Every structure is written in structure tokens, then in C-alpha cells.
Amino acid sequence: MSIFTGAGVAIVTPMKEDGSVNYEKLAELIEFQIENKTDCIIICGTTGESSTLSHEEHLECIRFTIEKVAGRIPVVAGTGSNCTETAVYLSTEAEKYGADGLLVVTPYYNKATQNGLVAHFTKIADSVKIPVILYNVPSRTGCNILPETAIKIAKKSKNVVAIKEATGNISQVAQLAALIRKENINFDIYSGNDDQIVPLLSLGGIGVISVLSNIAPAQTHEIVSTYLAGDTKKSAELQLEALDLIKNLFIEVNPIPVKAALNMMGFEVGPLRAPLSEMEEANKEKLRNAMIEYGIKVVL
């Protein structure tokens, strides 16, 4: 059974001006997401600046989110690491807190072989009983989960139930979808790119793990729900309407623009942690204009 179908938000981690995590603001963002039809909260992913959170902060963000969501929608915890033992530790702790699933990124910097990826993900999955989503984002990690490898992992560990595909390579996703069909296994595909939601759905995907959902949760949910309801033409129109905003949400490295966007909306999610820097003014103006054009209320 799928962890969720639809649009899950890769939620930001709001910070206070001193750089500490702002849990009061995180609670506000969670409520905003649930009120606006988000289908799942993904906490401590790339967009949540997980790479600069301490282990204590990382786990507290997961625990806090699970408690605040209180079962209203699923919570998926980002628990990946380039160290297998660290990923096992984060994953087992998240399971204890009551996470509905885990999002586990490929090991970054190490550049594991395909055999290494099988061993890495199998060990993590075997350490828990809850579902695991593989996270494939080679542009950040320098490591690509090949379709055959994803299938091999899923067949070895039955609780590896899905993949977040952020390669941007539609041909690779099509190959993976074909293998899933050929092997007749239950293995879900989520888009990891907001500009490719509809293409991924057309290949059998069931949703998106989204940056866009931070500022446009209802609209992102509608792109997916409309497609799954059978109105593919309308869904494609909604996807195309969002393209300029999506482009500007990635005009600088994520999550720099999306945090700037939330601050423009008045959410006061605070600064970024180094080495991420504040958005350049010229790019901020482009983002502001794209938000206004899309119909998002900007107060700053």
C-alpha cells in the first residue's frame, strides 16, 4: 500500500534570527499545509536543510512534526546519510517517534557503486519495519540509482516501496516504470521535480514530493488530483501555468528561493544556515514577480 498519493511537501525548516530552529513557526507551516490539502509532510529533506541540522535538531524536527500532525496526514522523515550507520540510527529513531515512512537519499560524496547502494539501502530498510522511499538525486549526490538497482533493492527489502525520482531524466523513469511492470512488483514512483509532475504521472507515478507545495500547496495538490481523476488535459494546463514560478523557485540553489518566497508571503521562516546565502536582490525580484503573476499574495 502506498504511503501517500498526491502532493507531499518537502517542508522548509524555519529558523530564528540566531540560526536556531523555530518550532513555533514550523507548527504554523504544518497547519497551513494541512489546511491547503497537502497529502503528506516530508520533514528534514533537502529543502529542510537537513545537511546542516545536528542529529539532535534533526530528530527533534521529526518528533515535533509527527506530534503536531497527529495522524491527520502521513509524515515521512528524511533519514538519509552518506554513512550507512548514521542513516540506520536516524531511521530507527524516526520509526520510534511514529513516522509513517522514511525518505532515504543516496550516499553523497562517497559515490557508492550500484552494489554499494544495494547494500546501503538494504541495511537501512532491514533495520526498520516502516516503508522506505529511495531518493535519487544525482545532481546533488554524484550517485545515480539505476532502474535495475532500484528493482533489486525493492525485491530484497519488501518495505522499500517507492522512489523519489529527481534525475530529471524521463527516459530513465520510463525504463524504471517498464521494469516495475515487467517484474509485477508494487513499487511507487514520485516526481522529485516540480516541472515534471505530469510527465511522471503519465508513466505511472502517483504523486510528487514538492518544493512548490511550500508556497502553493492547494495548486500542487490539484495538479496531481486532477490527473488521477482522469482530466489529464486540465492537469497539464495547471502544470504549464506553474512553470515560470517553478523556474524561479530554482533560480538559485534550493531552498534559498523557497525560503525567500515564504518570507515574502509573511511567514517569517528566517534565514538559511551557512554555507547557503541569502538570495540576490535581482533574483528575488524575478521570484516576486513570478509569484504575483501566479496569484500568490506577496506582502513583503
Q: For the chain, give the number of residues.
A: 300
160-165 and 188-191: which strand pairing? parallel
Q: Are 2 and 162 in contact (CB under 8 A)?
A: yes
One DSSP character per residue, 254-275 reads TTHHHHHHHHHTT-----PPTT
Share of the chain above pLDDT 90, in %: 99
Q: Whole-angstrom Cα distance, residue 196 to residue 168? A: 8
Predicted confidence (pLDDT) per residue in 195-230, tens digit: 999 999 999 999 999 999 999 999 999 999 999 999
**Residue 246, in any domain of the structure:** no
**Residue 263, in any domain of the structure:** no
Phi and psi dihedrals of 63, rounded to 5?
-60, -45
Q: Are 94 and 79 in contact (CB under 8 A)?
A: yes
Q: Whole-angstrom Cα distance, residue 3 to residue 209? A: 12
Number of domains, the chain: 1
**Residue 278, in any domain of the structure:** no
Average pLDDT over residues 40-59: 97
Query: What does each C-alpha distance from 188 to 8, 171, 181 come to in angstroms?
Result: 14, 17, 11
Average pLDDT over residues 61-80: 98
Predicted confidence (pLDDT) per residue in 234-290, tens digit: 999 999 999 999 999 999 999 999 999 999 999 999 999 999 999 999 999 999 999
Q: How many CB atoms lie within 10 A of CB 36?
A: 15
Average pLDDT over residues 57-80: 98
Give the distance from CA 20 to its chain's centroid: 22
**Residue 173, in any domain of the structure:** yes
Q: Give 128's pLDDT tier (boundaries 50, 70, 90).
A: very high
Average pLDDT score over the chain: 97
Beta bridge partners, 204, equal none
**Residue 78, in any domain of the structure:** yes
**Residue 266, in any domain of the structure:** no
Beta bridge partners, 188, equal 162
Q: Whole-angstrom Cα distance, residue 132 to residue 167? A: 19
**Residue 106, in any domain of the structure:** yes
Residues 6+ apart with CB under 8 A from 56: none
Phi and psi dihedrals of 39, rounded to 5?
-90, -15
Residue 1 scores a pLDDT above 90: no
Task: Give me the catalytic one of 135, 190, 227, 294.
Answer: 135
Q: Whole-angstrom Cα distance, residue 55 to residue 53? A: 6
Cell of 11: 517542508
Q: Is 135 a catalytic residue?
A: yes
Which pLDDT score is estimated for 84?
97
Which pLDDT score is estimated for 228?
98
Task: Give me the catalytic one of 25, 68, 152, 164.
Answer: 164
Residue 85 scores a pLDDT above 80: yes
**Residue 245, in any domain of the structure:** no
Residue 93 scores a pLDDT above 80: yes
Q: Are 102 and 128 in contact (CB under 8 A)?
A: yes
67: domain range? 6-229
Q: Are 249 and 211 in contact (CB under 8 A)?
A: yes
Which pLDDT score is estimated for 300?
84
Average pLDDT over residues 72-91: 98
CATH of the domain at 209: 3.20.20.70
Predicted confidence (pLDDT) per residue in 14-26, tens digit: 999 999 999 999 9
Q: Is 164 a catalytic residue?
A: yes
Instruction: Taking the CA atoms of 254, 255, 258 and 264 in sequence, report the sign of the dihedral they define.
Output: negative
With vertex at residue 9, the alpha carbon angle to CA 3 and CA 10, rounded to the nearest 5 degrees, is 100
Q: Give 98's pLDDT tier (boundaries 50, 70, 90).
A: very high
Which pLDDT score is estimated for 55?
96
Nearest to 192 by CA among 117, 126, 110, 105: 105
Sequence-ordered strand ranges (E) for 81-172: 101-105, 132-136, 160-165
Which pLDDT score is estimated for 263?
98
Residue 175 scores a pLDDT above 90: yes
